Structure 1
Amino acid sequence: MSPSAAPRPAQAAPADPSLSLFQLLDPSVHADPHPFYRRLREEAPVHWDPFMHTWVVTRYEDVHTVLHQFSADRTPNPDQMKALGLPSLGPVADVMAKQMLFLDAPAHTRLRKLCSSAFTPRRVEAMEEQIQEIADTLIDAVIDRGQMDVIADFAEPFPAIVTAGLLGVPREDHGWLKAKSADFAEMLGNFQHNPDRVHRVLKSVAELTDYFRDAIRNHGDRPGLVRSLVEAEVDGNRLSEDEVIANTIVTMVGGQETTTNLIGNGLLTLIRNPDKLAELRDEPHIIATAVEELLRFETPSQHTARIAHADTEIGGRLIRKGEAVMAVMASGNRDPRRFADPDRLDLRRTENRHLAFGWAAHFCFGAALARMEARIAFTTLLRRLDDLALASDRLEWRPNSGLRGLQALPITFRAVGAAA
């Protein structure tokens, strides 16, 4: 959800529309935002965007500061939505206000401890064999074709099936859950307000709430994250039913949308860099650093909003308490002040403390699963498919400025072992 409106600071210079993040709504900029981010880092690394009613921060050090120090409690509650003239979005705000993604300590700390107790490294490790089986099954379905849409045939169903298994809901529901996840993602990181989508988002939030409430009450004996969240207890604290539902939804959405984008954007990057694709195919042992580099190079989650909890000076600009700030992680991940030769894809890059998973208290608690899924996805694709090539020069990106990913990625290939 976009940051709340704020008055323009008196110190702001005259507005330059070409420096506004609204430029990301231009399909040509959205397709390759890095030249635009480079310009922001060089000309206006910390600036007030009057069109977005927010400060925009684009250099690595400043983005890190915002993620580490500024408030994540930025979602208007239903009453505030009503005051803003958006009463219909009250049910969405009610769900988001219970998600740890949008909370600060102590509420965030409490939720994080409880959710982390259910989402353990042991649980993730135990899923590896199952995740590998899912990847191979999806490839089996297309391998005789010689062509596929990587998004529809692999990058979307792969994390959706994994997430259904993680949550402990029927695997066959993964397609429905994926569609609802995509609707909810309209409210995460997307500042392109489209009234036509509001009804669909509201409907999906209501349906997801009913679905997970039913899963809690009628399928509570099914092993998985939903049951673990219901049973989780830390220092005598437990999650309410509404908190279980809200955080199950955000786990599901985060686990699907960003992983789909990581696989799609990452494979496109490798195809466009055939020497790197060949390097990873020939030396699969570098997959761990390769995944980190793909996260840095084409960051799945481009930016996130925060609120200044106190007057703070960043980059020589004074940000007042209560003002909104947009931290652009994708720009920080290409900052030459932090990364050597940042526009070069280096699958062996070891000094790579990127910002793709956030930072500090709000570091993505599903990062271990996302990394495992990415490692399995890329190694399986390259192990089983050869001669990867784009089937079309025209690529369409999803109209979401925050969760940047492809609508489709049509490719041709030859099955490994088949005659050339």
Structure 2
Amino acid sequence: MTVAPNAQEEYQALLVQLLDPANRANPYPLYAELRDGGAFQVPEANLTVFAQYQDCDEVLRHPSSSSDTSSSTTAQRLREQDPAPRRIGPPSFLFLDPPDHTRLRKLVSKAFLPKVVNQLQPDISATVARLLHRIAEKGRFDVVEDFAYPLPVAVICRLLGVPLEDEPQFSWASAVLGQSLDPLVEVSGESSDAAEETRQAHRWLREYLHALIERRRLRPGDDLMSGLIAVEESGDQLTEEEIVSTCNLLLIAGHETTVNVIGNAILAMLREPSQWAALGASAGRAAAVVEETLRYDPPVQLVGRIAGADMTIRDTHVVQGDSMLLLVAAAHRDAREFERPDVFDPDRGAFRHLAFGRGLHFCLGAPLARLESSVALAALTARFPNARLDGEPHYKRNVTLRGLSALSVAV
């Protein structure tokens, strides 16, 4: 259902409210209003917003849905206003369509096969054990700084062959680039104040990765970057710039989202202590807790697509080139799809969430994120059965990759 024209302004105002950091701690009432109104359009921004589950699911699976943001009407208009290149280096395969997406994804996917991912479990468990030991010594911990952040960073560093001692350098760039995914220009019509910082982060991270490639050429290892270099040198069409863009994506997406999953799950369970106790008593519940967290409080709350051709999603017509904003976090609480959608219930049974996407762009890192989160949450709840919240949660400014910035817990 598309909202009536006289309601467009009201829903556009709600969407702008979603960008306000004051609503970051609990955006779900806003999502509910946006979802209940149905799809709506912002003609001056060439934007259509979907918030109901059926619509979001259909867009993600639609053959005319494109991930190439450079093909949008908005991008074309910006190029006409300012022909200077906005993008530094080629896009990652996250923002490509076939055949380029197919080629790059195939090369990278080997690193995320279940067999390869499961080989990381001993290292993940060992890292978790070290973190829990430090927490026990302190008697309290910050969910992000002391647990949810260090684990995924250590794993992605190992996977890509990034020296762990370099983590403080690229963590800044990763945080800035994660925030740059927010839909500020399309929705609010304003330029982000952080545009220059974003460009600086792009440049710095690309220079860092180029230097790391040179080190791996001289001393290859068993990491993904060394593997991608070997593929390039064997005659494949993978260029050094494509290696940099791919690793850039994995460094950001490979740990920012997993940090959010772990943090959001901890908060949800501590707000429902029976869930914390249940997981602590039965590690086998971890997978269900992770899946329910991905639905209830997803790490990626918004997803963008471009209409590669004229499309009709139920009764909403989208013109070729228009942008589509999918409010995944709203869709995940759609009562048409989920019973008691606002309740955190790992025992709700089988369901399909959209946290990892659908179709061609289904998240490559899903098996790794699930493994890291399950191991971490099972071990944490078992080690500290009496943990309790020791303060209110604080959130990053990010709208798209929404997650905690700090949360104090006493153990």
Q: TM-score, normalised by structure 2?
A: 0.90
1:250-399 maps to which residues of 2 (within 5 A)?
250-393=249-392, 395-399=393-397
Question: Aligned residue for 1:40?
Answer: 34
From 154, 157, 179, the counterpart of 1:161: 154
In 1, the alpha carbon distance for the partners of 2:76 and 2:52 equals: 35
The residue identity in structure 1 corresponding to 2:137 is D
CA contact under 8 A between 2:389 and 2:409: conserved in structure 1? yes
The residue identity in structure 2 corresponding to 1:264 is G
From 398, 401, 409, the counterpart of 1:400: 398
With over 3 angstroms needed to count, the CA separation of the structure-2 counterparts of 1:369 and 1:35, relative to structure 1, is same
Structure 1 residues not aligned, in runs of 5+: 1-8, 414-420
Shift of 1:49: 3.3
The residue identity in structure 2 corresponding to 1:210 is E
1:125-140 maps to which residues of 2 (within 5 A)?
125-140=118-133
Shift of 1:142: 2.4
Shift of 1:160: 0.8
Q: More helix by proportion, 1 or 2?
A: 2
The residue identity in structure 1 corresponding to 2:212 is A
The residue identity in structure 2 corresponding to 1:34 is Y
Shift of 1:241: 0.4
Shift of 1:196: 4.2
Count residues in correspondence.
Answer: 398
The residue identity in structure 2 corresponding to 1:372 is L
CA contact under 8 A between 2:112 and 2:367: conserved in structure 1? no
Question: Aligned residue for 1:15?
Answer: 8
Shift of 1:379: 1.0
Once the two structures are aligned, what percentage of the paired residues are identical? 33
The residue identity in structure 1 corresponding to 2:69 is R
Shift of 1:51: 7.7
Shift of 1:167: 0.4
CA contact under 8 A between 1:160 and 1:175: conserved in structure 2? no
The residue identity in structure 2 corresponding to 1:73 is D
State the Cα RMSD in Å: 2.5
CA contact under 8 A between 2:179 and 2:399: conserved in structure 1? no
Shift of 1:400: 1.1
Shift of 1:84: 4.2
Shift of 1:76: 6.7
CA contact under 8 A between 1:149 and 1:408: conserved in structure 2? yes
CA contact under 8 A between 1:310 and 1:321: conserved in structure 2? yes
Question: Aligned residue for 2:208?
Answer: 211
In 2, the alpha carbon distance for the partners of 1:152 and 1:119 equals: 26
Shift of 1:267: 0.6
With over 3 angstroms needed to count, the CA separation of the structure-2 counterparts of 1:81 and 1:235, relative to structure 1, is farther
Residues 1:25 and 2:24 are matched in the alignment: no
In 2, the alpha carbon distance for the partners of 1:105 and 1:212 equals: 25
Moved more, 28-37 or 253-262: 28-37
Structure 2 residues not aligned, in runs of 5+: none
Shift of 1:194: 6.5
CA contact under 8 A between 2:232 and 2:239: conserved in structure 1? no
* Higher RCO structure (Cα 8 Å, ≥6 apart): 2
Question: Aligned residue for 1:197?
Answer: 194
With over 3 angstroms needed to count, the CA separation of the structure-2 counterparts of 1:285 and 1:64, relative to structure 1, is same
Shift of 1:346: 1.7
SS at match of 2:66: coil
